[in-house]
Amino acid sequence: MKNSLKKYAGIIIGAVYALILRLIFNIHALDEAFNLFSVTFIWITPIVIGLIPLFYANKEQLKSWGYRISSPVWTVVVFFLLCFLTRIEDLICLWVILIPYMLAAITVGLIAGEIIQRVKTKRGTLYTIILLPFIISPIEQQFKQPTHSYSVVTNTIINAKPETIWKNIIRVRKIHANEYTKGFFNYAGIPRPLYAELDKDTLGATRIGHFEGGLKFLEKVTTWDRNKHISFDITVVSSSIRQTVFDQHILRGNHFKFLNAEYNLKSLPNGQTELTLSSSYELTTNINAYASFCGDQILTDFQERLLKVIKNRCEN
């Protein structure tokens, strides 16, 4: 038992250290120094936690490529399990950080073993490394976070005329469970759409999109070209934001903002119509490039599933 604990001590210590960092980086009173949407937490932290089990490894373990790669990976896995079991993170949040954390863990395992064998005997080396996030993050937060806008475009061909499709997009009657095929993101925490209501058929109308869990989006009609084009400015109804970790971080935070959405209908030969759904959003973080990759994946999945519902309704 003692040998087993010694063997896996580095993994446990690394995972607990990561959990502590996660808690510290989410303290609102420390926002000026620590931020979850940062290079430090997304890219530097996984490197550090991947190094910790290697510092606790003996010479034989460090000579093993299997151990050098698996121990950082297992440290990340245990950290993820702790986050999920303690409800600190939702599955969707863990998915967002999965790529950088696993990539960093594997990279550390591949290149750090030989270096660690040379420096691990030096006193203070480990302590210096675990302090890196606390040193780098406050420096990073002194730089203004850039703001960028992104768009996701999805389309489908429907065997129906624009008039039929138009009726199914300006208002969406209740979507039953057997109409909507849930995907990974839905099971991970992204709510599925339920229905959308429109108060009047004209420019300036108000449309409300209802989602699972009571989440609502207020959509103001900014363009109205019957049977051809409609667009909305989108804001989340703050009182409807769920208490999930994802909603609180994304929808209530200052890093993500929905901008607008629009439908375009183009008549095709043989009575077909090309329906295009475009959505735009804004990110304000130091990791916009990676965050937009995740945002695009989630929105693309949502739009494809919604368009599938509309297509089936219009064709049946």
Partner residues linked to 184 by β-bridges? none
Give the global pTM.
Answer: 0.90
pLDDT of residue 121: 57
* Mean pLDDT for the stretch of residues 130-151: 94
Is 88's pLDDT higher than 80?
A: yes
pLDDT of residue 68: 87
Q: What is the pLDDT of residues 146-155, one digit of tens each?
A: 999 999 999 9
Contact 264, 228 (CB under 8 A): yes
> How far apart are alpha carbons 166 and 267 in whole angstroms?
12
pLDDT of residue 65: 84
Helices within the chain (DSSP H only) = 2-24, 39, 45-55, 59-63, 65-85, 91-111, 113-119, 125-130, 132-140, 162-170, 184-188, 245-250, 288-315
Is 35's pLDDT higher than 60?
A: yes
Is 4's pLDDT higher than 80?
A: no
Q: What is the pLDDT of residues 175-193, one digit of tens each?
A: 999 999 999 999 999 999 9
Is 123's pLDDT higher than 70?
A: no
Angle between helices 45-55 and 91-111 (to 10 degrees): 50
Partner residues linked to 264 by β-bridges? 229, 276
Is 300's pLDDT higher than 60?
A: yes
pLDDT band (50, 70, 90) for residue 164: very high
What is the overall mean pLDDT for the chain? 91
CATH superfamily of 147-315: START domain (3.30.530.20)
Q: What is the pLDDT of residues 219-272, one digit of tens each?
A: 999 999 999 999 999 999 999 999 999 999 888 878 999 999 999 999 998 889
Is 134's pLDDT higher than 80?
A: yes
* Mean pLDDT for the stretch of residues 202-221: 96
Is 309's pLDDT higher than 60?
A: yes
* Mean pLDDT for the stretch of residues 145-173: 96
Is 99's pLDDT higher than 80?
A: yes
What residue segments make up the domains of the chain, in order of their start? 2-140, 147-315
